[in-house]
Amino acid sequence: MPLSRFLIESAREGCDLATAEGRARLASNAKPLWGALPDGALKRQLLGEIAALVQLEAQELGSLWAAVPARGGASRNAERSSAHAGDAGEGWRPRPARPAAHRLAGRAQPVNRADHATRLLLAHSQLWDQISGEEHGLLCALPGAHGELLSWLEAQLHEHGPQPWAVLREALREHPAQALADQLMLGSDIAATDDHGEALAELRNLLKRMLIDQLKAEETEAIEAAKLDPAALARYRELQARRLALETGTAAVQ
């Protein structure tokens, strides 16, 4: 199968092009694959084909993809714009983000998924034994202080078993990641009362999203590798199939 046809078929897999959501998903899937291609006639031709599938002009789709996302927000707005362009016309505008009214006073608010997952595990260290080995590896491989802190936590749990935050805090004294832990656990008296079942569900959802992000990055790497090694396309298909299964909630819980 030609590379161009393979990219389009891979991007549209699992996408219902009769719906706005399906077209938005196709645009999202196709962007990293198209972006990895070298500049030239093939890349321009593919942009037109993909734009036709998602019911946009090629110039409009190219402009959406060229927009620089601000911490992920702009890219999500671009996908929503693509999803609704065929149905709502030029008058559609993305809804503004709603304020987080549910935030509790005194609690340090996680600013990203790594923060949030780390905080949950410090507050409920027993959750570590309820997630998979792959998820352990994902967490310990986080860059910077997050990975260092979670690797330390894993060692503590192997040696002492689950411990409350008050005990972990004492053991962390003078550890390089102590500052991060203290920052995340501000308001730990509130965290201690969080429902264990809800915390586990929240952690699993976070880890699922983090794994999806990792798979997307690996898909892009596989497409890059395919320029020199066509066998890498098989790896890409495996990664994409797993990501789609996770996104649709059909993957088996490990």
- State pLDDT tens for residues 60-117: 888 888 764 433 444 444 444 444 444 434 443 444 443 333 333 344 444 689 999 9
pLDDT band at 50 (very low <50, low <70, confident <90, very high): confident
Q: How far is CA 114 from CA 52, 93, 139, 141, 160, in A?
A: 37, 31, 8, 11, 24
Cβ neighbourhood burial of 169 (10 Å; 0-12, 13-18, 19+) = middle
Mean of the pLDDT values across residues 169-179? 92
pLDDT at 26: 81
pLDDT band at 182 (very low <50, low <70, confident <90, very high): very high
Mean of the pLDDT values across residues 215-232? 86
pLDDT band at 188 (very low <50, low <70, confident <90, very high): low
Q: Which of 129, 149, 128 is nearest to 140 (CA)?
A: 149
Mean of the pLDDT values across residues 145-149? 94
pLDDT band at 118 (very low <50, low <70, confident <90, very high): very high
**Average pLDDT for the chain:** 77
- State pLDDT tens for residues 7-25: 777 777 878 888 888 888 8
